[in-house]
C-alpha cells in the first residue's frame, strides 16, 4: 500500500463520473488511467463493469456507498454485510483504498440520521469479511462556516449535530475525513473580494491569519476544515481531498485556460501541504476524468472533465 504521505505522483487520483452519454467503455477508461500514470480512482457507486475492469490494474479505489443506500444499511448489519460481500469482497484483485459512506450528506436528508450507524455497520462488515479497508464519509465546504480567516473555521450547528459522532468514529479508527473542495465555487460566489489568481494558485498578495500566510484559496479552505476539526475533537484527523477541479465552460471564470492552470497547479501544490500541515503531501482526487452531459442544471455541471467522452484530452495535464 502506498504511504499516506507519499509525495510521488501516486498522491493524485481522478474521480470517474459516469453521467455522460456517450461514455467510454470502463476497460478503456482503466487503460487511459494507466497510460496517463493516474494511480487512484474514485467512483460513486459499485458499478460492476468498472469494478471488473479494475481487477489486477493496481489502481487504488475510493468506492462510495450511495446516499440512497444509507438508511437500509443503517437498519441492519446483515444489509451492510451483504453490501460489502457483493460490491467489495467479490472483486478480488481490486485495490480498495477507502469506502465512502455517503457523499455530501446534508442535514435535511434522511441519510443524515442514518450516517453514523451506516458507517459503523459498513466498518463492521469490512472487519467481518477480513478486509483492511478504511471507512469514511465525504463532506463539502457547505458543512463549515466562519472560514475567513481559516483559523476561525467551524462546522455549522446543523451539520455538527450529525457529524460529531462521525468525527469520533474516524478518530477511533484513525481514518481520514474526505472533503470535496472547490475554490471555483467560492470564487464564483464572491468575485468582488476573491481574486481569480488566488483561486488558481497564481502569485497574489497573501492572506495573513496569525502565524499563517495563505497564497491560495485551496489551502485556506483545507485549513479552515482542519480548524473546524480541532474545535470538534478531530484534531488528530487527516483530510483527504476527495474532489477538486475547475469547469471549462458554463459560468463566470470558466475556461479551458483556467481549468488547465488550476488542475496542473493543484497537482504540483499538493505535494507540499498547507500552512497548518506543512511538509505533508495532500492526498487529492481531481474532479473529473470526463465531461458529464447528463448533469445539470446549472450548465457548468456538465463541463468538469479533463477528457472528452472520446478520451481526447480537453487540455494538457502533467500527472507527475
Q: Cell match 476497460: residue?
A: 27
Pairing of strands 284-286, 239-244: parallel
Q: From the CB of residue 47, how many other CB atoms can be counted at a distance below 10 Å?
A: 15
**Half-sphere exposure in the Cβ direction for 210 (13 Å, CA):** 10
Pairing of strands 154-155, 144-145: antiparallel
Active site annotation includes 79: no
From CA 188, how far away is CA 201, in angstroms rounded?
16
Active site annotation includes 243: yes
| 233 phi/psi in degrees, rounded to 5 | 80, 15
Residue 58 corresponds to which cell in the numbers above?
A: 493496481
From CA 156, how far away is CA 66, in angstroms rounded?
23
Active-site hit among 60, 79, 243, 283:
243
Q: What Cα–Cα distance (Å) separates residue 194 from each residue in 60, 133, 191, 248, 304?
A: 35, 39, 5, 19, 21
Active-site hit among 60, 104, 283, 292:
104
- Four-point Cα dihedral 259, 265, 268, 272, nearest 10: -120
Give catalytic residues, as residue numbers.
Answer: 104, 243
Amino acid at each position: 500500500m502506498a504511504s499516506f504521505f507519499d509525495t510521488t505522483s501516486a498522491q493524485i487520483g481522478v474521480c470517474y463520473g459516469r453521467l455522460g452519454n456517450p461514455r467510454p467503455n470502463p476497460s478503456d477508461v482503466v487503460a487511459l488511467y494507466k497510460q496517463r500514470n493516474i494511480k487512484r480512482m474514485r467512483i460513486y457507486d459499485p458499478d460492476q463493469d468498472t469494478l471488473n475492469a479494475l481487477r489486477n490494474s493496481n489502481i487504488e479505489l475510493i468506492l462510495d456507498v450511495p446516499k440512497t443506500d444509507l438508511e437500509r444499511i443503517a437498519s441492519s448489519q446483515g444489509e451492510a454485510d451483504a453490501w460489502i460481500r457483493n460490491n467489495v469482497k467479490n472483486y478480488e484483485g481490486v485495490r480498495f483504498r477507502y469506502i465512502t459512506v455517503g457523499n455530501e450528506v446534508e442535514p435535511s436528508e434522511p441519510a443524515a440520521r442514518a450516517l453514523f450507524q451506516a458507517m459503523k455497520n459498513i466498518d463492521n462488515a469490512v472487519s467481518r469479511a477480513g478486509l483492511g479497508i478504511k471507512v469514511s464519509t465525504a463532506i463539502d465546504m457547505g458543512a463549515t462556516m466562519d472560514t475567513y480567516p481559516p483559523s476561525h473555521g467551524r462546522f455549522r450547528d446543523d451539520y455538527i449535530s450529525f457529524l460529531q459522532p462521525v468525527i469520533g468514529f474516524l478518530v477511533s479508527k484513525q481514518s481520514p475525513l474526505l472533503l470535496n473542495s472547490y475554490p471555483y465555487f467560492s470564487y464564483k460566489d464572491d468575485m468582488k473580494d476573491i481574486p481569480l489568481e488566488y483561486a488558481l494558485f497564481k502569485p497574489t498578495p497573501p492572506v495573513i491569519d496569525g502565524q499563517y500566510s495563505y497564497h491560495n484559496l485551496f489551502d485556506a479552505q483545507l485549513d479552515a476544515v482542519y480548524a473546524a476539526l480541532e474545535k470538534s475533537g478531530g484534531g488528530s484527523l487527516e483530510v483527504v481531498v476527495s474532489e477538486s477541479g475547475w469547469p471549462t465552460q458554463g459560468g463566470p471564470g470558466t475556461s479551458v485556460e483556467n481549468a488547465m492552470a488550476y488542475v496542473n497547479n493543484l497537482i504540483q501544490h499538493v505535494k507540499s501541504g498547507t500552512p497548518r500541515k506543512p511538509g505533508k503531501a495532500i492526498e487529492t482526487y481531481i474532479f473529473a476524468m470526463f465531461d458529464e452531459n447528463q448533469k445539470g442544471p446549472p450548465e457548468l455541471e456538465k463541463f468538469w472533465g479533463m477528457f472528452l467522452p472520446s478520451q481526447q484530452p480537453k487540455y494538457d495535464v502533467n500527472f507527475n
